[in-house]
Amino acid sequence: MQQRSSLKARLIASPYVAWSALFIVAPMFFVVYYAFTDAAGAFTLANIKALSNYTEIFVRSITFGLIATVICLLIAYPFAYILSQSGANVQRTMILLIMLPMWMNFLIRTYSWMALLQDTGLINAILGKLGIGPFHMINTGGAVILGMIYNFLPYMILPIYSILTKLDRSLIEAAEDLGSNRFNVIKKVVIPLSMPGVVSGITMVFVPSVSTFYISQKLGGGAFDLIGDTIERQFQQAYNYNLGASLSLVLMVLILVCMAVMHRFTDNDEGGGMVI
């Protein structure tokens, strides 16, 4: 009986195992393989050594990613908190509005920002009517970061919001009861208890921000190459799979390190913030 059911379980799991092997493990293997070989397939460390030429891009990617993540958090947390305190109808409507842009194509949304930010774009046109500007906004670092924030903000709001709505109301009352004013309630109870949501929000914004390649091309005008753009170019234009693979590998390691550092600060909890 025991044997049969475990066989059955294995049978049911087999498609997923095959999928994982084919689309997760195998690509990883190829990334590692390419990273440590040359065009002829011989082992080499040249690709890794070549990375020193890209230090600036790595630093920029991580800096932009961090800035975007921090700003997302600063916008998302108060928003999610206020939302979680609102009436049921307000909550439903706002969540719908947050999700709505996600139903539209990412590329189209980024293109729209180009139209908005251009020197002769909509924003400058409106400002011009008011006698201000024009401001040069497109093709700046700020525009790239704005694009990241705009695209990834929902991924920060949703996990924080969902953990805040589940927060036991009596915990807040208990804190008030023990003498906390509103500020202390938030500082000493609400924020610590919502850390799992914050952590998953940070993860879900930081990782795609660091590795994005499209936003920087369209809103940065090519002047703010990020690591994602560089990797894309190696595969699409330079056909240097080996260098592209080593860049990807290092990016992956860097993200893992960043995540590990962050989790060290918040690991004392059982987590459970990964929702959506």
**Binding-site ranges for another protein (CB under 8 A):** 168, 170-171, 173-181, 184, 188-189, 192-193, 195, 268-270
CA distance linking residue 125 with residue 130, whole number of Å = 9
CA distance linking residue 31 with residue 80, whole number of Å = 38
Smallest distance from another protein to CB 259, Å: 21
Looking at the DSSP bridge assignments, the partners of residue 37 are: 43
Query: Which is closer to another protein, CB of 35 or CB of 189?
Result: 189
Smallest distance from another protein to CB 181, Å: 6
Query: Which is closer to another protein, CB of 43 or CB of 183?
Result: 183
Residue type, 183: F
Contact 149, 72 (CB under 8 A): yes
Residue 75 neighbours by CB under 8 Å, 6+ apart: 149, 153, 156
Q: Which two tokens stand for residue 132?
A: 């201000």
Closest CA to 230 of 59, 58, 28: 58
Query: Which is closer to another protein, CB of 195 or CB of 254?
Result: 195
Contact 80, 201 (CB under 8 A): no
To the nearest 10 degrees (0 to 180), the angle between helices 55-85 and 195-211 is: 140
Smallest distance from another protein to CB 176, Å: 4
Smallest distance from another protein to CB 260, Å: 21
Smallest distance from another protein to CB 168, Å: 7
Query: Which is closer to another protein, CB of 119 or CB of 269?
Result: 269
Smallest distance from another protein to CB 184, Å: 6
Q: Burial level of 10, CB count in 10 A (0-12/13-18/19+)?
A: exposed
Query: Which is closer to another protein, CB of 81 or CB of 155?
Result: 81
Residue 27: CB atoms within 10 Å: 11
Query: Which is closer to another protein, CB of 6 or CB of 181?
Result: 181
